[in-house]
A and B are shown apart, each in its own frame.
Chain A
């Protein structure tokens, strides 16, 4: 099975930097996704990591350490529209059940 942990809530100020952590335990690992979900809307894709290291995409970056079962999402130059839930999701190996498992999400509130 898979177990994914991320903080329930975080608060940050507009213009600041915030790091959202995700730790996972899995019987087989085939990549980690980050999704953004605004209230009442569908999740939208932010990033994907399968190898160790940092992936940068504009204001958002995502880091992975497979040996530690750890990832983080880094958001720079925060904007009010970044207030949303951020979901960490782990993909298991092909042929496994529940190939993509989501964490419970981290609700980020950006304050002016």
Chain B
């Protein structure tokens, strides 16, 4: 079965440094999501793309976070500068159109530790 690819699997960085995460959704999936999950909590949506367009980034801290999906395929999430509170699991997910009963397919995530 096709999978959502994410890298790196783990990232350790110091505060004030820049970090970037990459996601390659399942081929043909138009909708791509970036979620942040703090230990013991549910995933929180950071940004949602429909093809190359952002349809929801209301919860993205835009002073330090940015996301792009230039060709409507793979996507990059960047944090600059990283803060201690950014330590979390960053999950990428995709779905064919993002509507109705479509389930989300999640990648394995990037575990970020900011020291």
| A interface residues (Cβ-Cβ under 8 A, vs B) | 4, 30-31, 33, 40-45, 48, 50, 87, 89, 94, 97-105, 107
Contact = CB atoms under 8 A, between A and B. Distances in A.
Contact of B106 (A42, A48, A50, A101): A42
A100 B91 CA distance: 14
Interface residues of B, number: 25
**What does DSSP make chain B's interface, helix, strand, loop or mixed?**
loop
B59 A42 contact: no
B14 interface: no
B45 A42 contact: no
B45 A43 contact: no
A49 B67 CA distance: 31
Given A30-B100, A103-B42, A104-B42, A98 B56 contact: yes
